[in-house]
């Protein structure tokens, strides 16, 4: 799959790059995508929820009424879940929601995500660029050039670039990562994936194993 290389202003440089069909042109595996996104969201959950059960409620443990002769059900403690202010039955406890996925499945999911975006023509290849200094205004100019100033965008760099990263940090809908940080969720949770030329080699190296 051949894609035109654009410059920082969004204009065609006259060059093209070959995107691997094994990564950007395969039939997406929707179930692999589902599992990978599910794991990503599950891993982000804190799991610190907690409700007090009857043993943790503050209150007296005396028997509140006699066992028989009241005409109602027996009750042994004011902390019983059947009373207002009592403990909760089977309430939530702190736990981890994370689960494991096979590396090959996660790799397939990332390739499927990239293929989905490529099929929808949401992948743009841009020649490598840098800023003289971190400046949000310069990054906003780049976003406007690609028509994503008010949309979610994902910039994938070949290597860490502090000036570009800091320039994008205050832009709410823009996300800047390196090729090694690429994930299924990030690829799909954006309107346009902007790949710098330097990132292509890293992406193919990581996903062609």
Mark whether 9 and 26 lie in a shared domain. Answer: yes
Mark whether 79 and 159 lie in a shared domain. Answer: no
pLDDT (mean) for 157-171 = 93
Which of 96, 131, 159 is the last residue in one of the domains? Answer: 96
Mark whether 130 and 157 lie in a shared domain. Answer: yes
φ/ψ of 13, rounded to 5, equals -85, -10
Instruction: Give tens-digit pLDDT for 76-100.
Output: 899 999 999 999 999 999 999 999 9
Mark whether 60 and 6 lie in a shared domain. Answer: no
Mark whether 41 and 143 lie in a shared domain. Answer: yes
Mark whether 143 and 170 lie in a shared domain. Answer: yes
Mark whether 63 and 91 lie in a shared domain. Answer: yes
DSSP string, 152-176: -EEEEESS--HHHHHHHTT-TTEEE
- Residue 61's pLDDT is 84
Domain that holds residue 82: 47-96
> Where does the pLDDT of residue 190 fall: very low under 50, low under 70, confident under 90, or very high at 90 and above?
very high
Instruction: Give tens-digit pLDDT for 20-65.
Output: 999 999 999 999 999 999 999 999 999 999 999 999 999 888 999 9
Mark whether 83 and 118 lie in a shared domain. Answer: no
Residues of 185-206 as b/e, b for ≥16 C-beta within 10 angstroms? bbbbebebbbbbbbbbebbeee
Q: Residue 189: CB partners within 8 Å, gap ≥ 6?
A: 152
The structure's pTM equals 0.84
Mark whether 92 and 120 lie in a shared domain. Answer: no
Residues of 14-38 as b/e, b for ≥16 C-beta within 10 angstroms? eeeeebbeebbebebbeebbebbbe
Mark whether 131 and 91 lie in a shared domain. Answer: no
Number of domains in the chain: 2
Task: Say if residue 208's pLDDT is above 90.
Answer: no
d(CA 166, CA 161): 9
Task: Say if residue 209's pLDDT is above 80.
Answer: no
Task: Say if residue 167's pLDDT is above 90.
Answer: yes
Mark whether 159 and 200 lie in a shared domain. Answer: yes
Pairing of strands 12-18, 2-6: antiparallel
Mark whether 106 and 195 lie in a shared domain. Answer: yes
Which of 145, 143, 142, 123 is closest to 131 using CA atoms?
142
CATH at 107: 3.40.1370.10
Q: How many of the other CB atoms lie within 10 Å of CB of 120?
A: 10
Which of 37, 71, 96 is the last residue in one of the domains? Answer: 96
């Amino acid at each position: 799959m051949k894609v035109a290389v654009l410059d920082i202003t969004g204009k065609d440089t006259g060059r093209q790059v070959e995107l691997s069909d094994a990564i950007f042109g395969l039939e997406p595996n929707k179930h692999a995508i589902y599992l990978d996104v599910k794991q990503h969201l599950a891993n982000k959950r804190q799991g610190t929820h907690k409700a007090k059960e009857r043993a943790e409620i503050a209150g007296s443990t005396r028997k509140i009424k006699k066992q028989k002769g009241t005409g109602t059900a027996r009750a042994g403690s004011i902390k019983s879940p059947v009373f207002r202010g009592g403990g909760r039955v089977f309430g939530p406890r702190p736990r981890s929601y994370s689960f494991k996925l096979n590396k090959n499945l996660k790799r397939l999911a990332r390739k499927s995500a990239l293929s989905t975006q490529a099929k929808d023509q949401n992948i743009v290849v841009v020649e490598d660029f840098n800023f003289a200094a971190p400046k949000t205004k310069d990054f906003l100019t780049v976003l406007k050039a690609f028509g994503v100033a008010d949309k979610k965008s994902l910039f994938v760099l070949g290597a860490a670039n502090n000036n570009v990263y800091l320039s994008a940090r205050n832009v709410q809908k823009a996300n800047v990562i390196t090729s090694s940080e690429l994930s299924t969720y990030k690829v799909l949770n954006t309107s346009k994936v902007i790949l710098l030329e330097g990132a292509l080699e890293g992406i193919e190296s990581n996903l062609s194993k």
